[in-house]
Amino acid sequence: MKNNRFFPKMDAVGEMPKSDRTAWLKGGAFTCKVPPRTPLDKPWRIVLIGAPGIGKGTQAELLSERLGACHLSTGDIFRASKCLQPSEQSPAIKEAMALMKEGKLVSDTTVLNLVRERVGCMKCSGGFLLDGFPRTIAQAEALDNLLLSEKVKLSVVFNYELPVETIIARISGRRTCSNCKAVYHVATRPSSVPGVCDHCGGKLVQREDDQPEAVRVRMKTYAESTRPLIDYYKKQKLLVTIQAEGTPEEIYQRTRLLALTL
């Protein structure tokens, strides 16, 4: 693997507006009102893997700000669907939301239908950061086929690793903006005003699936269904493993140094 791409130390593009991700969150014929920024180099197309609560969402935000690529989280699609009226929710979405509440995986068929409906995001000139997808080998194979048919290639897969006890501590302090989905932590990444999002003023909440019982199920599911992706991407020579301890900035810089050696 030889990327030789630009990977900035800090934010290289300053205060440029972030893409509003409408195409990803709503799917179908929707397009982004604020399109992604044009990357300073070739677009990055990245998959992030790691146990729930390891900080993928936070890294995805930092990477998105600095590389310009759009943060595409399948979990965010389901969370966004919660705001729809029940009559607007398809049976598949209703079922997905019930499974999600318990910390269980949504079926591959439902997830893949959602991703296929958003195929435009895969070939977007801004690039992408997939967070929470793929989560099973079947999803990874389907993603490979989708990218092949769209003639785009993954740049790299970042795999974040951390001991389980540290992950549990991270999850219990995590808060998410109910409006823009920005991620905070009460101890390590607090908002300026407690309970209020720095970006949009939205209310910060604890996700239902961050409750202890749901976390236990999510950890087990990760070990059984998602960890096998590590070998899958190692075989494709796309995998870069990063120790996820430290502050978000330290983890970003570690990610960057490893990416520069690609």
Contacts to ligand AMP by CB under 6 A: 52, 73-75, 78, 99-100, 103-106, 111, 132-133, 135, 139, 209, 218
Catalytic residue among 45, 79, 135, 189: 135
Least Cβ distance, residue 107 to ligand AMP (angstroms): 7
Annotated catalytic residue 135: yes
Is residue 66 a contact partner of residue 8, using CB atoms and an 8 Å limit?
yes
Annotated catalytic residue 189: no
One-letter amino acid at 206 equals Q
Q: 50 - beta bridge partners?
A: 160
Least Cβ distance, residue 108 to ligand AMP (angstroms): 7
Beta strand 156-161 with 239-243 is parallel
Least Cβ distance, residue 184 to ligand AMP (angstroms): 15
Residue nearest to ligand AMP as judged by C-beta position: 75
Annotated catalytic residue 207: yes
Least Cβ distance, residue 100 to ligand AMP (angstroms): 4
Find out whether the peptide bond into 134 is cis, omega within 30 degrees of 0: yes
Closest C-alpha among 138, 117, 126, 144 to residue 47: 144
Rounded-to-5 percentages of helix, strand, coil across the chain:
45, 15, 40
Annotated catalytic residue 56: yes
Annotated catalytic residue 218: yes
Closer CB to ligand AMP, 47 or 238, in the complex:
47
Catalytic residue among 56, 79, 175, 181: 56
Q: Count CB atoms within 10 A of the CB of residue 20.
A: 15
Active site amino acids: 56, 135, 174, 207, 218
